[in-house]
Amino acid sequence: MSPYALELKNVTVTYQDGYVALRGVDLHVSPGEIVALLGPSGSGKSSLLRGVAGLEAVTAGQVFIGDQDMAGVPTHKRGCGMVFQDGQLFPHRTVSGNVAYGLEHTGRSRTQIREEVAYWLDLVGLPDYGDRAITTLSGGQAQRVALARSLARRTGLLLLDEPLSALDRELREQLAVELREIITAADSSAVYVTHDHDEAETVADRVVYMRDGRIT
């Protein structure tokens, strides 16, 4: 059994145009740990997340999620949830419909799915929002729904790419505290990308600094 929820060994990501986004990165995340990646634009933070998720090919090194080497494993089978800056919610679905999306082909009954959705919406502080249209939500509410959708898959590993950066300062500070509480309550491990030092310190158990594709 691996002692880590996520482990990167000498990972390099090179884009088709020859740009090297990651250069021999080693990183581990323990079960239940939240690790923030902090650094300037272009430092490789988002490329690291995309490499873990399988959205970018790892050109050298290895990515392990738990005990499994992710080489050749497609994104949808990697067992990790992702939350992006814009949430990427489905506008044609209600709040409940968005959270239920990842549960609909898992063999659960409709009753079980409703109960799961209600549990996660309650956890993220939106217990009465199930029937709301996505277009009626504030930015902060939309990010809570995106988080609930990822958590509902119970993957154990969350990848969050600047999820609060589109929000104003006051709301970011509030949600940073709540995000940490929610991720901890869900017993998930997480890699949290941000360029905001205060936000990283608030959300994470450990902050890792990146520059020029390397961990410094």
Which phi and psi angles does 107 have, rounded to 5°?
85, 0
As a CATH number, domain 6-80+155-215 is 3.40.50.300
Angle value at C-alpha 65, between 118 and 50, nearest 5 degrees: 85
pLDDT, position 87: 66
What is the pTM assigned to this prediction? Answer: 0.89
pLDDT tens sequence across 160-209: 999 888 888 888 888 899 889 999 998 999 999 999 999 999 999 999 99
Record the tokens describing residue 120, joined without a space: 């996660």
In whole angstroms, how far apart are CA 63 and each of 49, 78, 79? 11, 11, 13
Task: Please return the burial class of 190, using the count of CB atoms within 10 Å of its CB with bins 0-12, 13-18 and 19+.
Answer: buried
> In whole angstroms, what separates CA 198 from the centre of its chain?
19
